[in-house]
Structure 1
Amino acid sequence: MIGVARLSLRLLRLGGRRAALSAGLVATGVAVGTVLLALALGGVHGWDAREERTGWRSDLAQREPAAVPVVLAASRTEVVAGRDVEVVDVAAAAPVRTPPPGLERVPAPGEVLVSPALGDLLARHPVAGLAPTGVISDDGLRGPDELVAVAGVSADDPDLVPLAGFGPPAGFGPIEVYRQLTYVAAALLVFPVASLLGASARLTAARRTERLALLRLLGASTRQVTVAAVTEVVAVATAAAALGVALYWLAAPAVAWIELGGGRWFPDDVRPAPPTLLAVVAGVALLAAAAAVGGMRQVVVGPLGVVRRQGAGGARLLRLLGVGAGLVAFGIVNTVRDAGPANVTGLVFGVGVLILFGTVSLVGPLVVRLLGAGMVRTARSAGTLLAGRRLLDDPKGAFRPLAGLTLAVFVAGFLAPLTAGLGEDGTGADSVLAQDLQRGTLVVLVGTFVIAATATGTAAAARILDHRRPLRLLRLAGTPLGVLDAARRAETIRPLLVLGGIGLAMGLVCASPFAAASDAFAPSGLLLLGVVVVAGVLLVAGASAASRPLLRSVTTEGARED
């Protein structure tokens, strides 16, 4: 088996320009998907890290007094140079073995320890009663720009709340709200990312299938052919995943500038733990292996069928049963969400979002097949007829370049209207939360449409490479390049519009539980939805159009076969 793996890698390395281009397409999709997956995981890690450092001083006014207090604390807001400053008054109620995060000890009455950002502000605008006597380290701060002071006071202050220690509060605190929202955001990103990773691993599958079928006909066993396929795909996917992790690690300082929860992040906050990143690389490799094995079925069962270029399997109407099951499952999950504890709301609803994502992906190939059949029946031009035949012959392969946009429009349909219900007229924490939700919505929308553009561009190019032989034969038979290009556009744009409408409808269904609680479908939200969808469609159409030079190159080459 080691010899087969080496042979596979050697064929990949010596495959020439086309093999390098194919590997580059796979690597591009996998690297982009890995970066966005690391971003989603980094968001969850960030809230955990922030809560560990600052949870002890959050929402002090709502805390239940501890029966055996270790420290007394209260929070108030001061205004310095027009900016809000959080001041936490503390007093020791018993010997403190573990000091507050970021401090060496509990400050004595009269001592004031400040964050570096507040220290700089007070140096320019001194305030009586806030003269710094020390500095809070990063271990006790929400972010590098936080304005906070911890002041020692007398234990006789009646406003102080008895606390059992400096750990985060139990129950559903302010940070927990953000964590649950991040779970939903991660769910909105994870499925498109997983779809991109799986699709990337199957790029240029036809070329790989032909080569492996030849090995099968030459006497290679099923196991040897499987090892060869998995080795080639996993090698490229693993290297690309490692590159994606490295790129995200380097980009973390830029990601840390995204303000959420009232401020920026420390770069290490948005970097998932190294074991998590290793698990990401391993997971991508496993997903690539599964995709490679899934594409091996026709090689293993019938290599002669591959050589003869028999059609791929179609999409059956049984998929409609899966759609119905998905909608029923979403209703059940939504009921559980309403009845369950608050601290698992985001996780439960995230599961519901994933179910609807799966439903959209399940119905996609069937829609492509039906659309292709309709185009063949009503075709009035050669380009439309060619496009319809391609959609009908391989609906799963035709859906692959469009899956990213379908899921991106789903996300837009879910998120964009909800921004209409996030008013900024509130004050304090409510206003900050509304602004953070709008900012987070923008991040998720940008991420999903980046996924869509990447998936469409790479898959469209790979589809041309996979069909280079029939395209070249059509050109040799006298078919104008304009007709082939029109067919390429038709097999992309028409399904794109139909599938985009389905994704939008499913996204609105997913958002329906929140529509009753807010003015979710106000004109402002619908306007944003329209702008986002139009911009996304143009972006994806541009990514698809970028494959036109490749079409020209493939169809004007000589008749030599690989």
Structure 2
Amino acid sequence: MFRLALRLTVAGGREAWTRLAAIVLAVTVGVCLLLATLAGINGVNAQNARYAWLETGFTPETHRPVADADGLWWQILADTFDGKVIGRIDLAATGAHSPVPPGIAELPGPGEYYASPAMSRLLHATPAAELGDRFPGHQVGIIGDVALPAPDSLFIVIGRTPAELSRTGLADEVTAIATTVPSSCSGDECAIGVGIDENGMILVLSVVALAILFPVLILIATATRLSAARRELRFAAMRLVGATPRQVSVVAAVEAAAGALAGTVLGFPLFLALRDPIAAIPFTGAPFFPSDLSLSLADVLLVLIGIPLAAALVARVALRRVQISPLGVTRRVTPRPPRAIRLVPLLAGIAELGYFTAAGPPKTTQHQTLAYATGFALILSGLMIAGPWLTMLAARIIAARSRRPASLLAGRRLADNPRAGFRAISGLVLALFVTSVSVGVITTLIAAAGPSGGNSAGATLQQNFGHAARDGQFVSSVPSIPAGTLARLDAIHGVAGTSVIHSNPTFQPDPSVRRSGAPLGPPQAQLPGVALCSDVARTPAIGRCAPGADVVAIGTGFGNGAGRKSTADKAIWPAVDISPAMLEQLPVSALVVQTDGSRAALESARTLLEKEFPSRFVPDTISAMSAGSGRLLQAYKQLSNVVVLVSLPIAGCSLAVAAAAGLAERKRPFSLLRLTGAPIAMLRRVLAFETVVPLLLTAVVSIGVGFLAAHLFLRAQLDQTLQPPGLQYYVIVCAGLVVALGILGSTLPLLRRVTGPDAARND
């Protein structure tokens, strides 16, 4: 039976070979994308594992005594250059047996440093006053890839003396280098991008995997059903001459699995050929090393066995009418119409997300991942299950109200077999749902972070000093700013002015004010800083003084964290009863530097401040501080772009395959219609109606459900309300629909060729 099945696979001449080639091509593309998805998940894990050594000092394992190991002073800080994050690690060995971080052969001595390849190139290409002067000493080597999360990672490991680091108050003495993979980030770790927020990334990747896998599986299933109706007739004929149901099942499975197996095998070299360009896509915010996009043995076996097996199962399901009776296909019994019960999975998925909106999200990340992945999986499955019912509903409405032959024929054909009509556009429906969810969530997150501080915020540096004590009062580490420092800042080309913000002695911190928003005391008593109006006038990004004031109370949290907008540039600060002479006696809480926004001015001022005031918190622009979680949002935005760019082409391929298959399978009835006098133009309108009607209807439903799911997710997980997407989203949707209609239109010229008189013969 296997030999017969293989012969039947290519029986039929050019048509059979064309069908087989189409199946192989479609499965090859689908398998390549599936492998890229699996490798991408493995790449995220590999990338995050390379952040482990940066956990040194934050985990207990690095402080436990280690036999024959000397202590190592370790200080990790975040730095910034031209919007890029630099991880700075200062080290000081206390003996010959101090632990050595990965990626370097030996610890750098005082006055020496190692740099990552990207950092080394940046140092050599940038004037020292803008970057190199921040780091004492000279370069002695390159940090190896084993310590770098990404090819473009900016890291520098600087050698210092134990006396220098022990006095900073920022360093820890450790006896080992951390090997624990970070599961989340906080403090300095987040500042230098110590991993990705793995909890959030796992949650997003779970949805991304589902979003890409569903269209891929639809593409493969659509491809393996090519000429399914023609094969059903052949198998029914085999049953009539004595073939058993089991023999027919074997032939069908082998015939379907042969093309799928060939496509699966070819998908692996295609993935390997595309691995380098795929690795360059920064869908976590940073590109991958190509070697990170690897496949485990389980991944290989899952794809290599699962895809041909799925193809065989599809063929088995397609033959259910032949299994019941060998005359079932010949008689063309109309299948039972779908019922409204098909809406249950879709409603169940929406109800699950709605439940967590009302009750709150689960407590742990694992439970959140399971809950939301289950909800989105139910919705994705529900769209596929409910699609035929929606198609039948639209077809019956069209057939009942039709006044033209083309729309009447299309409506009745769709009502007769809505499953086949929906199957052709199912991939695009899922792609539109995925696009709506991705764009809706990302648009809302970016809108919540929002632009900050007007145009001048990106040109204004802020250096904070000290920290908040337990009683809420601000404790400054800088009593005053030397006049020489201010003069050197003013001398930098592009620096327009500086503002020195001192601690407000009348500041009255109270947690209840922050919780309830109720006023407490005069307005100036609620602001932590005070500043000269002559200084404030030179730095417009932090607002302006009330008319007639010499000294004003001012807020210092211009970059006020993730998910909030800074509007300090519009603030009018109230006067405070402090003389300029008294102001000079108060400790400094912040220094603001206004520049013209050029890279040279910003980075030269940043370099000077870092040299003058070494601190855990490096100066940054007000807009960057307000962004807070902007880097994580950019990672999510990259993921959203990947989902959109991958799912739409997959859906287009599915539509092309389904359109060609549908045309080939219906050439005999169309030929009979032509013989009875139906013009070719009318038949083309029938084909157009059969695709356009379910496409537009289910597209509207899919987009609406996508926005609803995004809103429920945002309310449950982030307590945010869905923000409408911008013009780009509608352009993408319209472009996708236009391309889909273009694909449909490209198949219409084939109608004349495949519906000649010879196609009307009985097989």
Could you say whether these structures have the same fold, taking a TM-score greater than 0.5 normalized by the shorter chain as the test? yes
Matches of 2:262 and 2:100, distance apart in 1: 44
Shift of residue 123, structure 1, vs aligned partner: 3.2
Residues 72 and 167 of structure 1: CA distance in aligned 2, closer, same or farther (over 3 Å): farther
Other structure's SS at 2:177 match? coil
More strand by share: 2
Range moving further from structure 2, 478-487 or 185-194: 185-194
Q: Secondary structure at the match of 1:232?
A: helix
User: 1:344–1:327: structure 2 CA closer, same or farther, 3 Å change rule?
Assistant: closer
CA apart distance, 1:168: 3.3
20-29 or 228-237, which moves further after superposition?
20-29
Deviation at 1:28, TM superposition (A): 3.2
Quote how far apart the aligned CAs of 1:323 are: 3.5
CA distance in 2, matches of 1:450, 1:520: 30
Structure 1 unaligned segments of length 5 or more: list them: none
Equivalent position SS for 1:338:
coil
1:303 partner SS = coil
Matched residues in 2 for 1:90 and 1:186: separation?
A: 41
Q: 1:521 to 1:180 in 2, by over 3 A?
A: closer
Is 1:414 paired with 2:437? yes
1:554 aligns with 2:757: no
Cα gap change, 1:337 to 1:181, in 2 (>3 Å): farther
1:427 corresponds to: 624
Kept after mapping to 1: 8 A contact 2:52/2:182: no
Amino acid at match of 2:293: V
* Amino acid corresponding to residue 135 of structure 1 in structure 2: I
Give the 3-state SS of the residue equivalent to 2:266 in structure 1. Answer: helix
- CA distance in structure 1 between the partners assigned to 2:96 and 2:305 by the alignment: 47
Moved more, 184-193 or 533-542: 184-193
- Could you tell me which runs of 5 or more consecutive residues in structure 2 were left unpaired when the two chains were aligned: 67-71, 186-194, 452-622
1:17-416 map, 5 Å: 17-57=14-54, 67-68=63-64, 72-78=73-79, 84-91=85-92, 99-125=100-126, 127-128=132-133, 129=136, 131-155=138-162, 157=166, 158-161=169-172, 165-173=177-185, 174-175=195-196, 176=198, 177-273=200-296, 275-331=298-354, 338-342=361-365, 345-416=368-439
Could you tell me whether the CA contact under 8 Å between 2:109 and 2:160 is conserved in 1? yes
* 1:2-17 alignment, distance < 5 Å: 4-17=1-14
**TM-score normalised by L of structure 2:** 0.68
CA offsets per residue over residues 90-118 of structure 1, 9 Å max, x none? 35689979853323455455442221222
Whole-Å separation in 2 of the counterparts to 1:166 and 1:61: 8
CA distance in 2, matches of 1:247, 1:520: 42
Superimposed CA distance per residue, residues 24-47 of structure 1 (whole angstroms, 9 cap, x where no aligned partner): 332333222222222222221111
Q: Structure 2 counterpart of 1:32, which letter?
A: V
Q: Does the CA contact (< 8 Å) of 1:333 and 1:351 recur in 2?
A: no
Question: What is the rounded CA distance, in whole Å, between the counterparts of 2:692 and 2:303 in structure 1?
Answer: 34
Confirm whether residue 512 of structure 1 aligns to residue 535 of structure 2.
Answer: no
* Alignment check: 8 A CA contact 1:113 1:132 kept: yes
Greater CA drift, 89-98 or 144-153: 89-98
CA RMSD of aligned residues (A): 2.8
Alignment partner, residue 737 of structure 2 = 537
- In 2, distance between residues paired with 1:123 and 1:279? 47
Decide whether the 8 Å contact of 1:63 with 1:161 is kept in 2. no
Q: Taking structure 1 as reference, are residues 98 and 351 closer, same or farther at Cα in structure 2, changes over 3 Å only?
A: farther
Q: CA-to-partner distance for each residue in 1:389-411, whole Å, 9 max, x for gaps? A: 22112111111111111111111
What is the CA–CA distance in structure 2 between the aligned matches of 1:6 and 1:54, rounded to whole Å?
A: 54
Measure how far apart 1:462 and its partner are. Answer: 0.3
Sequence identity percentage = 31
CA distance in 1 between counterparts of 2:264 and 2:235 reads 25
SS in 1 for 2:86: strand
Post-superposition Cα deviations, 1:142-181, rounded to whole Å, max 9, x if no partner, equal 2222221123344553322466533134542342033432
What amino acid is aligned across from residue 259 of structure 1 in structure 2?
Answer: P
Residue 424 of structure 1 contacts residue 435 of structure 1 at CA under 8 Å; is this kept in 2?
Answer: no
Write the distance in 1 (CA, Å) between the matches of 2:83 and 2:436: 39
SS of the counterpart of 1:86?
strand
Give me the whole-angstrom Cα distance separating, in 2, the residues matched to 1:236 and 1:90. Answer: 59
TM-score (norm 1): 0.91
Aligned residues: 557
Q: How does 1:436-451 map to 2 (within 5 A)?
A: 436-451=635-650
- Tell me which structure has the larger Cα radius of gyration: 2
Inter-CA distance 227–88: structure 2 relative to 1 (3 Å threshold) = same
Moved more, 76-85 or 195-204: 76-85
3-state secondary structure, aligned to 1:546 = helix
Distance 2:357 2:107 in 1: 45
Distance across 1 between alignment mates of 2:353 and 2:52: 33
The alpha-carbon distance between structure 1 residues 496 and 113, as it changes in their structure 2 partners (threshold 3 A), is same
Q: 2: distance between equivalents of 1:511 and 1:169?
A: 30
Letter in 1 for 2:680: L
Q: Provide the rounded CA distance (Å) in 1 between the counterparts of 2:292 and 2:315.
A: 35
Cα gap change, 1:357/1:97 in structure 2, threshold over 3 Å: closer, same or farther? farther
User: Higher helix proportion, which one?
Assistant: 1
